[in-house]
Amino acid sequence: MDASLHQLQAGYRKSCGCLTRPALKDLIGQRFGKLVVTDYAGKENGMHHWKCLCDCGNETIVGQTLLLSGKTKSCGCMRSETARNHLKLAEGTSVRQLELNGKRRYSTNTSGHTGVYPQRKTGRWASQIVFKGRTYYLGAYEKSRMR
């Protein structure tokens, strides 16, 4: 890391950056979420890395700071489990996403409801829904019944 003479003299820089990195700690045998540290994997880009065995059987290498801060708790298997649990799929469509879209208010949508929009030619309110990647037209109405 480069440092100017002024930074060094004024005390803005005290090292090459090694003082800001956490020191190497012996984590072998310790558990972090689903990970158990099995061996030291070396230092890369100023961060100590550890070889870990996940409860699912996969082996992974994780940075010491990520383990100690709790930001990494598995090899990635927890992420896929969590995603599956939160999707709430119904025939290939994410019901959870539909629920979230219904709560959002878009500034370009004057009806305040996803899938409801005014038709320019007739002035009626039209509605549509996307299911399994296809758009289904539900009809047009004189006034919005959703308010």
What does the block give as tokens for 43? 């230092």
Strand (E) positions, 26-96?
31-32, 35-44, 47-54, 59-63, 89-90, 93-94
52 burial (CB, 10 Å; 0-12 / 13-18 / 19+) is buried
Question: Among 10-14, 54-58, 62-66, 81-85, where is mean pLDDT lowest?
Answer: 81-85
Residue 112: enclosing H or E segment and its boundaries?
none
Q: Give the Cα separation of 123 and 142 in Å (integer).
A: 8
CA 91 centroid distance within chain: 25
Q: pLDDT tens across 77-135, in order? A: 877 666 656 666 666 666 666 666 555 544 456 777 777 888 888 888 888 887 777 78
- The pLDDT assigned to 34 comes to 93
3-state helix, strand, coil split of the chain in percent (to 5) is 20, 30, 45
- Other beta carbons within 10 angstroms of residue 42's beta carbon come to 11
Under a CB-based contact definition with an 8 Å cutoff, are residues 94 and 100 in contact? no
